[in-house]
Amino acid sequence: MATRSVPQPPFSPELLADLHADNVAPELRAELLPAVQRDPEAMRFLNSLDAVGAELRALGRDERIIHPMPDDVLARLTRFVDDLDISEGPTERVATVHRLPVAAPPESTAGPTDSEPMGFAEPIDLTARRNRRFRWLAAAAAAVAVVGAATFAITMTTDRSVPPTAMPSATATGSNNADLTPAAALSALGRFDVTGPLSGPNALNRCAAAAGYEHRTPLGAVNWTYEGKDAVLVLLTGPVAPKITALIVGTGCTAGDPQYLYATDIG
C-alpha cells in the first residue's frame, strides 16, 4: 500500500486554518504539527489566528458596546454557529463550537507491526492548542454580533428611528466609499462568497499582500459593486486590536496587480 505523503513547507493558509481549528485527521495532525512548529512562516500564521481571537475577546469586553444586537445580526450569528456544528457530519474527531472532542484511549500499547507504516512523529499534547482553536471558532462566530454592535456605539452616528436593514445578499452593492458603513462591511465577516479569480486557493492572501496588507488574515470576502463596477470586499485582521480592515479591490486583484480601490479600519 502506498504511503501517504505529508504536506511540507510552504503550507497553504487553508491547511493551517484547518490545523488551527483541529479539523484534520488525528494521524495527519500528529505527522504535520512537528513540521509546522519548525516553520517560522507557518507559526506566524497560526499566531495571527490566535491574535484575531484576542482582538475579538477584547472587543467583547468593551463597556462602550451598549446597544442591543440587531435582529438580522442575531439571525446571521445563529446560522453561522449552526454551520460550524458538525456533530452530525464527518465521523472523524474534530472540534465544534459547542464542545471539544474527547480523546479515545489507545487501542494498544504495542509497537508497530510489519504491516504498519513507520516514521510517525511522536504525538504532542494538544490540549492547550485545542482550547485556543475552540476559542477562536467561538470568537469568530461571536464577532458578527460583537463587532457589529460596536459600530453603533463607537464609529457611527446612526438614526435610531430607522429599523435595522436586512443583511445584504452574496453580491452586495456600494456606489462609493460612503456606502461602506461598518454594518455593511461586517456583513462579510465569516463569509467567503466570492466568484471569479479571488475564489481560488490563496488568492485572497496574494491580493491582500499586493495591496499592502501582507501577513493580514482574511476574515471574510464577498462580491461587491464599487462606483458601478464589479469588485470584492475583503475583511482582514486590523493593524491593532480590536480593529478590522475593510478592503475593496478589483475582481482581478493578484500579486503585482492589486487593483486597490478603497480601504478603511473598523473598530
Query: How is residue 259 written as a grid cell?
Result: 487593483
State the burial class of residue 33 (Cβ atoms within 10 Å of its Cβ: 0-12, 13-18, 19+): middle
Q: How confident is the model at residue 17 (pLDDT cuts 50, 70, 90)?
A: confident
For residue 253, with 0-12 CB atoms within 10 Å meaning exposed, 13-18 middle and 19 or more buried, which class applies?
buried
According to DSSP, the β-strands at 244-250 and 260-266 are: antiparallel
Q: Where are the beta strands (DSSP E) in the chain?
A: 192-193, 218-226, 229-237, 244-250, 260-266
Q: Which of 60-64, 161-165, 202-206, 233-237 is least confident? A: 161-165
pTM of the complete model:
0.44
* 264: pLDDT strictly greater than 70: yes
Q: Beta strands of 17-158 (E only): which ranges?
A: none
pLDDT recorded at residue 245: 93
**CA-CA distance, 146 to 182, in Å (whole number)?**
12
214 versus 51: the higher-pLDDT residue is 214
Residues pairing with 224 in the sheet:
231
Q: Please give the C-alpha separations between residue 230 and each of 43, 53, 183, 212, 258, in angstroms, as whole numbers.
A: 35, 31, 20, 21, 15
Nine cell digits for residue 146: 460583537
Dig out the grid coordinates for 98 from the structure: 459547542
178: Cβ contacts below 8 Å, ≥ 6 apart:
none
Mean pLDDT over 3-18 rounds to 82
